[in-house]
């Protein structure tokens, strides 16, 4: 989708700090981190949100979660949060499905 920010990031029309990429998704640093460690894991296919998932997207969703798990392990995170914001009322600003990987807090920071 031409006008979508995360499609443009996935197509490398807009630069980002990509830390992982495969055929179906990519992970990059959030530009305005809300945790010491904050990455976004994004499918290359334009899907608007969790609310727009279809049955044939089960594999995409599974890939997002397994990639988040692998990235957290690579980053040495002892614990982390995985967050999907869904719709404006759910805090979603970018209308392209993305999984937030948040972590890196010390015990009393969270």
The catalytic site residues sit at 98
Q: Which residue is nearest to Zn ion (CB)?
A: 4
Of 9, 76, 95, 93, which Cα lies nearest the Cα of 37? 76
Contact at 8 Å (CB) between 4 and 95? yes
Subset of residues 79 to 108 that bind ligand 5GP, contact rule: CB under 6 A = 85, 91-94
**Position 4 contacts Zn ion (CB under 5 A):** yes
Q: Which residues pair with 101 in a beta bridge?
A: 39, 82
Q: What's the half-sphere exposure (Cβ side, CA atoms, 13 Å) at 8?
A: 9
Contacts of 31 (CB under 8 A, 6+ apart): 16
Q: How far is the CB of 76 from ligand 5GP (least distance, A)?
A: 21
In terms of CB distance, is 45 or 85 closer to ligand 5GP? 85
Residue from 32, 55, 78, 107 binding ligand 5GP (CB under 6 A) = 32
Q: Could you list the residues that contact ligand 5GP (CB under 6 A)?
A: 5, 16, 28-32, 40, 85, 91-94
């Amino acid at each position: 989708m031409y006008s979508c920010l995360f499609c443009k990031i996935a197509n490398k029309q807009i630069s980002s700090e990509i830390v992982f990429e495969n055929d179906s998704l990519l992970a990059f640093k959030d530009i305005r981190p809300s945790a010491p460690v904050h990455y976004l894991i994004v499918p290359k296919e334009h899907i608007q949100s969790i609310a727009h998932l279809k049955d044939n997207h089960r594999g995409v969703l599974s890939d997002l979660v397994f990639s988040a798990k692998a990235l957290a392990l690579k980053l040495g995170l002892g614990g982390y949060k995985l967050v999907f914001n869904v719709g404006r009322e759910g805090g979603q600003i970018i209308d392209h499905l993305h999984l937030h990987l948040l972590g890196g807090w010390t015990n009393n920071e969270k």
